[in-house]
A and B are shown apart, each in its own frame.
Chain A
Amino acid sequence: MALTNEQIDRYSRQIILPNVGGKGQDKILKSKVLVIGTGGLGAPCSFYLAAAGVGKIGLVDSDKVELNNLQRQIVHTTLDVGIPKVESGKKRLNALNPDTEVVTYNLRLDSGNILDVIKDYDIVVDGSDNFPTRYLVNDACVIAKKPLVHAGIFRYDGQIMTILPGKGPCYRCLFPEPPPAGAVPSCQEGGILGAVAGVLGVLQANEALKFILQSGELLSGRLLIFNASDASFRTVKVPKDKDCPVCSEHPTVTKLIDYQEFCSLKQNKDCSIK
Chain B
Amino acid sequence: MMAKVKVRIPAPLQKITQNKQEVIAEAKNIKELILDLEKQFPGMKDRLLDESGKIRRFINFYVNDEDIRFLKQDETQLVEGSEVSIIPAIAGGLK
Nearest CB to that of A127 among chain B residues? B93
Q: Which residues of A contact B15 (CB under 8 A)?
A: 272
Q: Which residues of A contact B88 (CB under 8 A)?
A: 179, 184, 273
Known interface pairs A131-B91, A229-B21. Does A157 touch B11 (Cβ–Cβ under 8 Å)?
yes
Which residues in window 39-71 of B have CB below 8 A to A?
46-47, 56-60, 62, 65-67, 69-70
Contact of A41 among B57, B60, B93 (CB under 8 A): B93
Contact of B94 among A157, A177, A192, A230 (CB under 8 A): A192
Q: Which residues of A contact B35 (CB under 8 A)?
A: none
- The prevalent SS among residues of A at the interface is loop
Known interface pairs A174-B60, A179-B56. Does A230 touch B21 (Cβ–Cβ under 8 Å)?
yes
Contact of A192 among B57, B60, B92 (CB under 8 A): B92
Decide if A236 touches B87 in the complex (CB within 8 Å): yes
B1 at the interface (CB under 8 A from A): no
- Residue in B13, B62, B91 with the greatest tally of chain A CB atoms within 10 Å: B91
Q: Report the bound CA distance from A187 to B95 in whole Å.
A: 7
Q: Which residues of A contact B56 (CB under 8 A)?
A: 179, 183, 273
Contact of B89 among A127, A184, A187 (CB under 8 A): A184
Decide if B57 touches A154 in the complex (CB within 8 Å): no
Decide if A152 touches B85 in the complex (CB within 8 Å): no
Which residues in window 140-173 of A have CB below 8 A to B?
152-157, 159
CB distance from A135 to the nearest CB of B (A): 10
Decide if A225 touches B89 in the complex (CB within 8 Å): no
Question: A121-149, CB under 8 A of B: which get 1 and which 0?
Answer: 00000011111001000000000000000
Q: Which residues of B contact A37 (CB under 8 A)?
A: 93, 95
Known interface pairs A39-B94, A197-B93. Does A225 touch B87 (Cβ–Cβ under 8 Å)?
yes
CB distance from A106 to the nearest CB of B (A): 14
Decide if A235 touches B65 in the complex (CB within 8 Å): yes
Nearest CB to that of A85 among chain B residues? B95
Nearest CB to that of B48 among chain A residues? A273
Nearest CB to that of B66 among chain A residues? A237
Decide if A159 touches B93 in the complex (CB within 8 Å): no
Point out residues on B near A: beta carbons under 8 Å.
10-13, 15, 21, 46-47, 56-60, 62, 65-67, 69-70, 85, 87-95
Point out residues on A near B: beta carbons under 8 Å.
37, 39-42, 63, 66, 69, 72, 127-131, 134, 152-157, 159, 174-179, 183-185, 187, 190, 192, 197, 223, 225, 227, 229-230, 234-239, 241, 272-274
Q: What are 24 A-B contacts with C-beta separation under 8 Å? A: A37-B93, A37-B95, A39-B94, A39-B95, A40-B92, A41-B93, A152-B92, A153-B93, A154-B11, A154-B12, A157-B10, A159-B87, A183-B58, A184-B89, A187-B91, A234-B65, A237-B66, A241-B70, A272-B13, A272-B47, A273-B12, A273-B13, A274-B46, A274-B47
